Amino acid sequence: MGIIILALVLLVLTPVGAYAQSAPTWTHVQQVFEIYQCPVCHTGEDAPLGLRLDTLEGALEGSENGPVLVAGKPSESKLFTRVGSDSEVRMPLTGPPFLSAEEISLLEQWIEAGLPTGDGDAAAATPQKPVRPGPNDTATFAHVKTIFMKRCVKCHKDKGLVGEPPENLRLGSYDEILKGGERLAILPGNPGLSELIRRVEGKAEPRMPMDGPPWLSDDDISLLRQWITQGARDENSIPAPIPQGRKVRYRGMMTGKRSIDGATFIIDGGTRIDKSPRVGGQIEVRGRVTRAGNVRAYRLRSR
């Protein structure tokens, strides 16, 4: 909501009509990109297709597929057509909201004017790499957001690459990630029983991201584990609430009398055990999340 409000404020302060005498510059375009968090993904060496939008220099260099900006020709500028058309996967991937008509017009005017730089040397700006927390630091959603934006959101959103989000799981925002879909994606404090971790590590099928390999790097997976272990904190470092009572289901290898793929669950007198599950065999665990963030199995069976 804050992003949308900021966008409206900027549009009030710098209406499109203000550019009638003076064309918009990279400075104005960059403000729009920041509002829609384009540089979250399009930054540094691992930017999608090598397209960096954190500096004018990066935008002008384009992507692995060639230039995305053609001075004086908006209709031939891939960047322009991707933010204003549903003919391809529309940008930003986190949308809606997408760019407003006024913001698209601003981008069009900038391209038609020949991509003016504006005040200062915007092209000389140095991209800032996301700072990762150390092993003893606290990880927040600000540290892991880039992973979701780059590798997950393109499918796990409405009208994504595969149509409806797989398993009804949307990963475009912190609240959506905590909400989960048909399955609980994140169990704060318990990465081993978080379906997200099980999928990116290949312990549950299908392995994610769906466009892998390449899968997530070991560093990315380690960071996601750290974030969940420390409570899946939001960007203000507030721990996520435990989804007490939420039903969960896992399929994998029984690695102990009370563990699946190395993650421990609770068995008590209320657990129904079928088909003599054995260590080393494939099992299915159905349970509920406890107030402490564990999983109490109400059914355990061999598969």
Per-domain residue ranges of the chain? 2-124, 141-229, 247-302
* pLDDT computed for residue 12 by the predictor: 40
Element (H, E) at 300: strand 295-302
Q: For 56-83, give one letter per residue: b (16+ CB within 10 A) or e.
A: bbbbbebbeeeebbbbeebeebbbbbeb
Question: Among residues 295, 251, 243, which one has the least CA distance to residue 271?
Answer: 295
In this structure, what token pair is assigned to residue 119?
A: 């005040």
| Residue-wise DSSP of 9-44 | HHHHHS-GGGGSSS---HHHHHHHHHHTTHHHHS-S
Question: Among residues 41, 171, 25, 182, which one has the least CA distance to residue 111?
Answer: 25
Can you tell me the mean pLDDT for 264-286?
97
pLDDT surpasses 60 at 21: no
* pLDDT computed for residue 18 by the predictor: 43
Question: What pTM did the predictor assign?
Answer: 0.74
Instruction: List C-alpha distances in Å: 20 to 14, 70, 108, 113.
Output: 12, 21, 13, 11
* pLDDT computed for residue 137 by the predictor: 94
* pLDDT computed for residue 132 by the predictor: 85
Residue 150 confidence class, pLDDT cut points 50, 70, 90: confident
* pLDDT computed for residue 208 by the predictor: 96
Can you tell me the mean pLDDT for 62-85?
90
Residue corresponding to tokens 């990880």:
139
Q: Per residue in 242-270, pLDDT tens? A: 999 999 999 999 999 999 999 999 999 99
Q: Which amino acid is at 166?
A: P
Q: Per residue in 226-242, pLDDT tens? A: 999 999 999 999 999 99
pLDDT surpasses 60 at 128: no
* pLDDT computed for residue 251 by the predictor: 97
Rounded CA gap, 74 and 110, in Å? 9
Low-confidence winner among 86-90, 193-197, 252-256 (lowest mean pLDDT): 86-90
**Please, which contacts does 175-182 make with residues 24 or more away whose CB atoms are closer than 8 Å?**
177/148, 178/232, 178/240, 178/241, 178/243
Report the DSSP beta bridge partners of residue 298.
none
Rounded CA gap, 30 and 25, in Å? 9
Can you tell me the mean pLDDT for 41-49?
81
Neighbours of 265 (CB within 10 A): 22
Residue 90 confidence class, pLDDT cut points 50, 70, 90: confident
In this structure, what token pair is assigned to residue 146?
A: 């880039």
* pLDDT computed for residue 16 by the predictor: 42
Quick check: 47 and 41 in contact, CB under 8 A? yes
Question: Among residues 181, 159, 148, which one has the least CA distance to residue 95?
Answer: 159
* pLDDT computed for residue 280 by the predictor: 97
